[in-house]
Structure 1
Amino acid sequence: MAKRLTILTAAILACVFFAGVGPALGSAPSGEEFGISHEPRQRGNILDLFFGPAPRLPTERGKLVIYAFHDANGNNRRDPGERELHDKIRCTVDEITYQVPALIPGLDLSAGYDIECEGDDYLPLLIESHVFIERRGQIIRIDLPCQKLN
């Protein structure tokens, strides 16, 4: 048991030592001699080997908020007096179905998502069926006009 612990400790120390050391003992030529610029690389730590990298922060992801309303006059805009529809419309984003109103967090940066909406008593008129998260922490709000089915 002590021998295994010694080998494991030596392996961990080797990983930590070599992860923090640059070129081997200064014998390799620097990038300046060849006109190569070095980008600072992101270094992990020993915990990344066992547990993986830290989860992304919520501010690095986008959010989608969908509201539905009864568009009584058919102008595709929410006017005073047009009531919000709760639990009458379902929207599917990234193969997950949500009841509207919906808050959909955790959308990846620089990713696009298709939206499909349907209802039993109302017909949603989705103007934009694709959203793209273009910046960190972006919140996209969709007001979904719906017509009453006869």
Structure 2
Amino acid sequence: MKQLLDLDTFAKTLNDKGYDGYFHTEASYPDKIKDSLNGFLEACKNGADKPMLPNMLMLKTYLQWNGDDKPRVECNMWVKYEDGLFDVQKMNIERTDQYGHLLKQLKLTDLSTGTVPTRKEAIALVSDAPKQKLSSQGRRFRM
């Protein structure tokens, strides 16, 4: 059964799974997850912003960044929001090259905050498995 979590528990759960970087809430409010969500919710309360979808928030973060000239892994999470409680509903993980071209993409649906993969697992899902090297020795018949 899916369970909605308060902001502190939600942020701690994702931090414990390795999602401890900076997030954008609804494409703005760059900060750590709790502060980003707080900034967005405060703006909504003041009438300065509103969610794109009712009762849903989109969070975006980088799972792996090694510089502008290297491939990177991004993550978008769609989070259900009701009465100050949160739960991850679905997640898109994308690996792109340094030019922004998509290398591999994975969409995870029917999630909850507890079933979200760890950061390392999410990166592994879109990373290419290392190719097995063949032995450098020639396979010859010896007498």
Please say whether Structure 1 and Structure 2 have the same fold, judged by a TM-score greater than 0.5.
no
From the CA coordinates, give the structure whose radius of gyration is larger: 1
Highest relative contact order (Cα 8 Å, sep 6+), 1 or 2?
1
Relative to the length of structure 1, the TM-score reads 0.30
Relative to the length of structure 2, the TM-score reads 0.31
